[in-house]
Amino acid sequence: QKEVEQNSGPLSVPEGAIASLNCTYSDRGSQSFFWYRQYSGKSPELIMSIYSNGDKEDGRFTAQLNKASQYVSLLIRDSQPSDSATYLCAVRRGGTASKLTFGTGTRLQVTL
């Protein structure tokens, strides 16, 4: 079982729709959860971080965490073509000096 699992996609959504990206993790000791966006040939860019159960909203992005189900998701509202990228889920067990474990990413395509 992979430590962090994501559907590789591609996930295709029309412009203006809601994109829903999902991630499950195996380590129940994980404390911190992150979503990164990575454009082709570029390094990852942090979009959202979430540390406690529930929802966290930032602009068009909402992260949802359910530690009991070991599940974290990212919703992108009003999807734009510029949102087309690979979205990486990452988890961390300890503090900020601890390592991140990444999923393989979900490729999102926002169509016109």
Positions that interact with another protein (CB under 8 A): 34, 41-46, 49, 88, 96-97, 99-105
> What is the nearest approach in angstroms of another protein to the Cβ of residue 96?
6
Distance CA 42, CA 102 (A): 16
In the complex with another protein, the residue whose CB is nearer, 51 or 78, is: 51
In the complex with another protein, the residue whose CB is nearer, 25 or 34, is: 34
> What is the nearest approach in angstroms of another protein to the Cβ of residue 29?
17
**Cβ-defined contacts of 48-55 (< 8 Å, 24+):** 48/74
In the complex with another protein, the residue whose CB is nearer, 34 or 76, is: 34
> What is the nearest approach in angstroms of another protein to the Cβ of residue 10?
11
Distance CA 96, CA 112 (A): 39
Distance CA 67, CA 97 (A): 22
> What is the nearest approach in angstroms of another protein to the Cβ of residue 5?
11
Distance CA 55, CA 112 (A): 29
In the complex with another protein, the residue whose CB is nearer, 7 or 104, is: 104
**Cβ-defined contacts of 65-69 (< 8 Å, 24+):** 65/33, 67/28, 67/30, 69/24
